[in-house]
């Protein structure tokens, strides 16, 4: 009987191995891959894997390389070269920009455009990209405090994406067990790093875990399915809460266009604003200037004005710029240099009739910035930085 059971188990296991190998071959023949450029990180939950590389074609197309320091960027020395104005750029997937070659990103554009700034005459410009997909403002603050400072930047640029950055700073709204959060305790923000003790995080730290996901198309597909399932579950929980409160059926991320009445969203906004202020203080404590830039959401900059108006009517709001106005109000209140990109990008999209989000191999009008948006954003941010420097009489 024991031999019979052992034979059955061996047969099942061999069948699973054959199925796994066939699935790997099939996914490779079909060109299906979801490359993963990350590894577990005790500080932020996850970070780029130094030296990782691969083709990204889920949305847009680029050959992605991660440098020795774990940045989606070229190699940079810790010591700032003489005569260089260095910019540290913090952000999420819009800044990481896997969808495009590096030379088409907005932060690469900064290096080109700022060469013509009178306040920087005779100096070279170097942008160092610390952007990582999915990072919240909490994670970006930790990166600023622990990973940016050794580079001694002259300017820290925090790119805030209002699409999911606000809820991403709330454990309850975000529901991610393997990332840090901040929460108010006795009137002050306190780091919640419970993720370090979670089973999910410990499993990710198993030997060869990241290598397995880097190699296996099947494991990449499973991870992608898990990511999408998490988004669907978050949306389902949100809709149940809206229904329980007799509220309108509004998508989770579209809630950012409304002035919050839900306690969780109110807290998420309050935490986000406090984190931005802490980021400004951390940058200045390290001897750097600080610039807060709010990015755009697809509906905000859709080239069809009727589309924008229809979304606003469905949400019961006059327009889609509540998050941008709130961020600008925070900046004025706290004396933070800032730039809101949504409205100028929206004006360009309508005037030129072009999509600034999306790619032909995914969906136009949705998803991340394309090359046109990155170029425009780089130009607008460069103008804002140059104006900052000139107003402070920054010379050579």
pLDDT of residue 395: 38
Domain count, the chain: 2
pLDDT of residue 234: 44
Find the range with the poorest average confidence among 106-110, 127-131, 201-205.
Answer: 201-205
* Separation between Cα atoms, residue 239 and residue 257, nearest integer Å: 16
pTM reported for the whole predicted model: 0.87
Does a structural domain hold residue 223?
A: no
pLDDT of residue 158: 98
8 with 131, same domain: the answer is no
Does a structural domain hold residue 51?
A: yes
85 with 172, same domain: the answer is yes
Kindly state the average pLDDT of the residues 178-184. Answer: 95
pLDDT at 242 over 70: no
Determine which helix (DSSP H) or strand (DSSP E) holds 64, and give its type and residue range.
strand 62-65
Kindly state the average pLDDT of the residues 387-393. Answer: 84
Does a structural domain hold residue 386?
A: yes
Determine which helix (DSSP H) or strand (DSSP E) holds 45, and give its type and residue range.
strand 45-48
- Per-position DSSP letters for 175-221, written without gaps between them: --TTS-EEEEETTEEEEE-GGGGSHHHHHHTSTTHHHHHHH-HHHHH
The β-bridge partners of 294 are 160, 340
pLDDT of residue 92: 97
Does a structural domain hold residue 220?
A: no
145 with 77, same domain: the answer is yes
266 with 313, same domain: the answer is yes
Instruction: Print the domain residue range for 8.
Output: 1-32
Does a structural domain hold residue 221?
A: no
Q: Percent of the chain at pLDDT above 90?
A: 71
Does a structural domain hold residue 396?
A: no
Instruction: Find out whether 105 and 376 touch, Cβ atoms under 8 Å.
Output: no
24 with 84, same domain: the answer is no
Higher pLDDT among residues 365 and 204, named by residue? 365
* pLDDT confidence tier of residue 30, bands split at 50, 70 and 90: low
Higher pLDDT among residues 360 and 237, named by residue? 360
Alpha helices per DSSP H over the chain: 2-30, 93-96, 106-113, 137-143, 171-174, 199-204, 209-215, 217-244, 263-285, 305-315, 322-334, 342-352, 371-391
4 with 123, same domain: the answer is no
Higher pLDDT among residues 322 and 229, named by residue? 322
pLDDT at 5 over 80: no
191 with 92, same domain: the answer is yes
pLDDT of residue 384: 98
The pLDDT tens digits of the residues spanning 334-355 come to: 999 999 999 999 999 999 999 9
Closest CA to 145 of 285, 50, 335, 290: 285
pLDDT of residue 202: 79
pLDDT at 18 over 90: no
pLDDT at 385 over 60: yes
381 with 290, same domain: the answer is yes
Higher pLDDT among residues 234 and 321, named by residue? 321
First to last CA, the chain: 85
104 with 63, same domain: the answer is yes
13 with 76, same domain: the answer is no
pLDDT of residue 280: 98
How many other C-beta atoms can be found within 10 angstroms of the C-beta atom of residue 234?
Answer: 18
Return the SS3 of 25. helix
C-alpha atoms less than 13 angstroms from C-alpha of 283 in its C-beta half-sphere: 25
pLDDT of residue 251: 75
Kindly state the average pLDDT of the residues 231-257. Answer: 59
pLDDT at 216 over 50: yes
23 with 114, same domain: the answer is no
Higher pLDDT among residues 194 and 249, named by residue? 194
* pLDDT confidence tier of residue 207, bands split at 50, 70 and 90: low
Q: 181-185 and 289-294 as β-strands: parallel, antiparallel, unpaired?
A: unpaired
pLDDT at 245 over 60: no
pLDDT of residue 199: 79
pLDDT at 49 over 90: yes
275 with 382, same domain: the answer is yes
pLDDT of residue 42: 95
Does a structural domain hold residue 235?
A: no
- Per-position DSSP letters for 237-253, written without gaps between them: HHHHHHHHTT-----TG
* pLDDT confidence tier of residue 162, bands split at 50, 70 and 90: confident
Does a structural domain hold residue 233?
A: no
pLDDT of residue 31: 52
CATH of the domain at 123: 3.40.50.1110
pLDDT of residue 238: 43
């Amino acid at each position: 009987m024991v031999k019979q059971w052992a034979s059955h188990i061996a047969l099942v296991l061999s069948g699973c191995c054959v199925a796994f190998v066939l699935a790997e071959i099939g996914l490779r023949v079909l060109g299906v891959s979801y490359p993963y450029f990350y590894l577990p990180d005790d500080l932020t939950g996850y970070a780029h894997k130094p030296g990782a590389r691969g083709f990204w074609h889920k949305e847009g197309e680029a050959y992605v390389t991660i440098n020795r320091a774990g940045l989606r960027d070229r190699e940079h020395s810790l010591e700032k070269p003489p005569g260089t104005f260095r910019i540290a750029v913090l952000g999420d997937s819009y800044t990481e920009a896997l969808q495009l070659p590096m030379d088409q990103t907005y932060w690469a554009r900064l290096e080109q455009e700022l060469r013509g700034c009178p306040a920087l005459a005779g100096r070279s410009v170097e942008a160092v990209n610390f952007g990582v997909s999915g990072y919240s403002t909490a994670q970006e603050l930790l990166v600023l405090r622990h990973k940016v400072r050794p580079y001694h930047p002259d300017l820290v640029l925090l790119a805030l994406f209002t699409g999911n950055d606000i809820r991403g700073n709330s454990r309850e709204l975000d529901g991610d067990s393997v990332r840090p959060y901040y929460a108010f305790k006795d009137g002050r923000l306190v780091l919640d790093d419970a993720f370090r003790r979670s089973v999910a995080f410990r499993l990710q730290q198993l030997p060869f875990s990241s290598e397995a996901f880097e190699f296996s198309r099947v494991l990449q597909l499973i991870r992608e399915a898990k990511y999408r399932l998490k988004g669907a579950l978050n949306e389902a929980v949100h809709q149940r809460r809206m229904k329980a409160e007799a509220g309108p059926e509004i998508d989770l991320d579209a809630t950012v266009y409304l002035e919050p009445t839900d306690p969780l969203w109110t807290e998420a906004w309050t935490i986000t604003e406090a984190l931005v202020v802490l980021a400004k203080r951390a940058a200045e404590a390290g001897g750097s200037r600080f610039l807060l830039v709010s990015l755009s959401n697809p509906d905000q900059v859709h080239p069809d004005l009727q589309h924008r108006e229809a979304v606003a009517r469905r949400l019961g709001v006059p327009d889609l710029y509540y998050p941008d106005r709130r961020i600008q109000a925070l900046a004025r209140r706290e004396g933070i240099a800032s730039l809101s990109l949504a409205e100028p990008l929206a004006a360009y999209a309508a005037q030129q009739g072009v999509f600034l989000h999306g790619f032909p191999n995914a969906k136009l009008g949705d998803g991340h910035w394309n090359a046109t948006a990155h170029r425009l954003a780089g130009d607008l941010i460069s103008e804002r930085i140059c104006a900052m420097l000139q107003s402070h009489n920054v010379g050579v």
